[in-house]
């Protein structure tokens, strides 16, 4: 088997297929680049190539909801992520495939693990990609293994945006699922400090946080976290929790759709500067009762469908490139993050879901 062909069948724990020369691709990215067969539901299109660093030693983190955790009950940490396999390919193969499909790719995103080699290798991969293409490169960083100097090096290497996956809305939940509660290395304060540094280095609007709805927070908790990011100069990329098979939270339910829709609308209004979280009203259970705007304004925003589209990094054209089709819901009518503009039938369904 030739080396380039062999890369297609490498496993995440193969020491001969490690970063920076080898990377894993999301299944959607592999389909987009022609490495894997398949079709997207409703002809969705992925325009961001999502790459993940890979090492034989895997990830040192123990996040309870993550498929990369070395503490998975089945002992298969790193074999899958976001419920699908991420095939491994050489960086050379990946750049050749991008070059052949340049019109489809509006952004590239490199995701780090919690591994001490990640800072150096992320810089290397970013520089090699930017030397080859005039395509913007985002980085999803691991604050536990990087510092301010690394962020400066990433910008010098050509990255233009940084994401910090805080994920949980409160320090208590963060500690329970990512920190001491699972014997993990992550700390709430370190993640927020890294976000602040990224905003300072890359600029307002060029760094942001990832959050997941449905891990025990109230809607008021999540709105407060998103408002904090906005006040710092960042933006929020929002996800619905979707259980990863064989993870510690494999049996944890998804949040009710009505809850997720309300928080999606809140995120859109906060990030777009249409209102502020302190104007929101909540019921006794911490659910959003009012967004502090007239009803006709809210209805018009809902009718646009924009709040319910994937919130991700944009391409040079200003539209979302990292739209991650069906990353937090199965393909079908109950899409949680729309990878395209919702149509009239979608809007009617969204209104019913919001009740």
DSSP string of 77-95, one letter each residue: TTS-BTTB---EEEHHHHH
Return the sign of the alpha-carbon dihedral for residues 202, 235, 347, 39: positive
Kindly list the averaged pLDDT for each block of 10 residues, start to end, along the chain of length 355.
34 77 96 96 96 96 89 48 83 98 97 97 98 98 98 98 98 98 98 98 98 98 98 98 92 97 98 96 98 97 98 96 93 95 98 93
What's the CA dihedral at 11, 14, 19, 24 to 10 degrees? 0
Structure tokens that stand for 289 in this block: 């009762």
What does the pLDDT read at residue 73?
A: 46
Q: How many CA atoms lie within 13 A of 253 on its CB side?
A: 5
What does the pLDDT read at residue 67?
A: 87
What does the pLDDT read at residue 10?
A: 43
The secondary element (H helix, E strand) that includes residue 52 is: strand 48-53
What is the 8-class DSSP label of residue 74? T
The partner residues of 25 in beta bridges, in order of sequence, read 51
Distance separating alpha carbons of residues 116 and 106, to the nearest angstrom: 29
CB-based contacts of 180, cutoff 8 Å, min separation 6: none
For the chain, report the end-to-end CA distance as a whole number of angstroms: 57
What does the pLDDT read at residue 5?
A: 35
Distance separating alpha carbons of residues 100 and 94, to the nearest angstrom: 10
Structure tokens that stand for 106 in this block: 């509006």
Distance separating alpha carbons of residues 188 and 115, to the nearest angstrom: 18
Other CB atoms within 10 Å distance of the CB of residue 328: 21
Other CB atoms within 10 Å distance of the CB of residue 285: 9
């Amino acid at each position: 088997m030739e080396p380039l062909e062999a890369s297609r069948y490498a496993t995440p724990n193969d020491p001969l297929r490690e970063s920076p020369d080898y990377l894993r691709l999301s299944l959607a990215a592999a389909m987009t680049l022609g490495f894997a067969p398949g079709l997207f539901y409703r002809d969705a299109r992925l325009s961001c190539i999502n790459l993940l660093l890979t090492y034989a030693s895997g990830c040192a983190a123990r996040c309870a909801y993550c498929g990369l955790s070395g503490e998975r009950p089945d002992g298969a940490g790193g074999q899958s992520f976001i419920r699908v396999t991420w095939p491994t390919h050489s960086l050379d193969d990946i750049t050749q495939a991008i070059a052949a499909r340049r019109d489809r790719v509006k952004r590239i995103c490199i995701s780090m693990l919690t591994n001490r080699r990640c800072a150096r290798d992320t810089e290397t991969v970013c520089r090699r990609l930017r030397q080859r293409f005039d395509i913007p490169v985002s980085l999803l960083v691991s604050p536990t293994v990087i510092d301010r100097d690394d962020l400066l090096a990433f910008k010098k290497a050509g990255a233009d945006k940084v994401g910090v996956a805080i994920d949980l809305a409160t320090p208590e939940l963060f500690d329970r699922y990512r920190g001491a509660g699972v014997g993990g290395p992550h700390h709430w304060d370190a993640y927020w400090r890294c976000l602040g540094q990224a905003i300072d280095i890359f600029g307002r609007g060029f760094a942001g946080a990832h959050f997941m709805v449905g891990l025990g927070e109230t809607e008021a908790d999540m709105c407060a976290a998103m408002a904090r990011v906005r006040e710092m100069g960042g933006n929020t990329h929002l996800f619905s929790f979707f259980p990863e098979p064989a993870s510690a939270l494999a049996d944890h339910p998804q949040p009710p759709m009505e809850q997720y829709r309300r928080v999606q609308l809140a995120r859109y209004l906060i990030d777009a500067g249409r209102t502020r979280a302190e104007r929101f009203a909540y019921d006794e259970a911490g659910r959003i009762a009012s967004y502090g705007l007239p009803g006709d304004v809210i209805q018009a925003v809902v009718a646009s469908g924009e709040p319910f589209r994937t919130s991700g990094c944009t391409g040079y054209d200003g539209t979302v490139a990292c739209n991650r089709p069906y990353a937090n819901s199965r393909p079908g009518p109950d899409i949680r993050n729309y990878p395209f503009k919702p149509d009239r039938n979608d809007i009617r369904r969204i209104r019913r879901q919001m009740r």
